[in-house]
Structure 1
Amino acid sequence: MVVSNIKDVKGMKIEGPVVKAMTKRVLISPKEGWEGYVMRLFDLEEGGYSPRHSHPWPHINYIISGKGILHIDGKDYEVEEGSYAYVPENKIHQFLNRGKETFRFICIVPEEGDQ
């Protein structure tokens, strides 16, 4: 069992040629007792984006704050606070912040998806 607050979870900044202004926090994982799954929190700062990629596992997303674009297999979807999405396995996808405030979302993946 775990009861906590995101303020208590250290974020890992991620930058590189295919990702910009992204921070990742692992909130719940097998370490906390949730076998097989991982719940992560991502922040994309203004102008930030996740890598455009695909993988052999699905994931579930919930937008907590901000506005952005979720690109899935050639189509762009506008998302904002309260939006949610299921991204099937092997689909090319990417999140992009299109606002001035932080774009924050939860991403739940099978354990093998947390790399």
Structure 2
Amino acid sequence: MFVRKPENVNQQDMDIPGAKGVKMQLMIGRDDGAPTFSMRLFEVQPHGHTPLHSHNYEHEVMIVSGEGQVVGGTNGSTIRPIKQGDVVFMPPNETHQFRNTSNDTLKFMCLVPTHFDCGQGACEATPGS
């Protein structure tokens, strides 16, 4: 067992196509001995966004602070508002994106299967149309 604080975890810029103003911290991952899930903390700067993408695994998200939109559905055709305390389930292969539509930082926790965690974000991502 261990206890870790976000301020003690390295923050990485998501330097991948389609991402704007996004940083990620790998809070718990396979290097910590986690056999099933990895926990990642994302920060999206004002008016930034994650890439519009899909992948073959589910993930669960909890909005820690801020507000914005989550894009999902067939080819990203559904847009829903999100804010602190909301949870989002993204099924496998659904095109999705998180957008910060505010002037404050949007933060969210994301759980993915550990064997798909590549450390820099959208592993096996396929750009949405």
Percent identity of equivalent pairs: 30
How big is the shift at 1:16?
A: 4.7
The residue correspondences of 1:1-115 to structure 2 (distance < 5 A) are 1-73=1-73, 74-115=77-118
List structure 1 segments (4+ residues) > 2 angstroms apart after TM superposition: none
- Count of matched residue pairs: 115
Structure 2 vs 1, CA of residues 58 and 16 (structure 1 numbering), >3 Å: closer, same or farther? closer
Note the residue ranges of structure 2 that are not aligned, 5 or more in a row.
Answer: 119-129
Question: What amino acid is aligned across from residue 110 of structure 2 in structure 1?
Answer: C
How big is the shift at 1:70?
A: 0.5
Would you tell me which structure has more strand in proportion to its own residues? 1
SS of aligned partner of 2:63: strand
Q: Normalised by the size of structure 2, how large is the TM-score?
A: 0.85
Residue deviations 1:56-84 (CA, integer Å, cap 9, x gap): 00000000000010001210010000000
Residue deviations 1:35-71 (CA, integer Å, cap 9, x gap): 1210000000011100000000000000000001000
d(CA) in 2 for partners of 1:110, 1:51:
19
SS of aligned partner of 2:53: coil
27-36 or 2-11, which deviates more? 27-36
What does residue 122 of structure 2 align with?
none
57-66 or 31-40, which deviates more? 31-40
**TM-align CA RMSD:** 1.1
Question: What amino acid is aligned across from residue 23 of structure 1 in structure 2?
Answer: K
Q: Normalised by the size of structure 1, how large is the TM-score?
A: 0.95
The 8 Å contact of residues 27 and 41 in structure 1, kept in 2 or not, is answered as yes
58-67 or 28-37, which deviates more? 28-37
How big is the shift at 1:96?
A: 0.3
